[in-house]
Amino acid sequence: MEVAVVYAGTFDPVTYGHIDLIKRGRKIFDKLILAVAESNHKGTLFTVEERVEILKEVVKDMPGVEVEQFSGLLVDYMRNRGVRVALRGLRAISDFEHEFQIALTNRKLDKEIETIFMMPKEEYSYISSSILKEVVRLGGDVKEFVPPFVQKKLEKKLR
């Protein structure tokens, strides 16, 4: 029986921290589905189509990893896909309270959904997409935090 996990987010843009969790999550699960949120309260730099395209490029050589966009409640998306496990990343203590509330709410909405938390490698634990966007806006170099083609896309959008 194939065991799948959904790693959902805006991925605006995808960072090496995300990629670390994708690779490590894939070692644990038979299939990892990257569920790209169409919209959320944050607003996004890239359209959902651009974020899906970028993620597909990132994972093109990773068997067992799929990329899809979704809207609405994550638990509804997971139920429709027949997946019971959600993967969530925790970079710092500050992420925990928010992620904890989401995990408990999801469990209340669907008692079959389990949430697994993973931390990225230490060198990626402080990276956030919002900080990277600000660094690029201000002319900084983000090559240590994102793949080269993501850096180019960021620079094209922000400079």
Among 51, 88, 129, 133, the active-site one is 129
98 labelled catalytic: no
Measuring CA to CA, how many Å separate 15 from each of 75, 81, 100, 105, 145?
25, 25, 22, 27, 6
Q: Is 77 helix (H, G, I), strand (E, B) or coil?
A: helix
Identify how many contiguous H helices and E strands the chain contains and give both numbers: 6, 5
Angle at 66 (CA atoms; ends 83, 46), nearest 5 degrees: 110
125 labelled catalytic: no
Among 56, 91, 107, 157, the active-site one is 91
Among 23, 39, 42, 152, the active-site one is 42
94 labelled catalytic: no
Among 18, 88, 133, 153, the active-site one is 18
Which residues are tagged catalytic?
18, 42, 91, 129
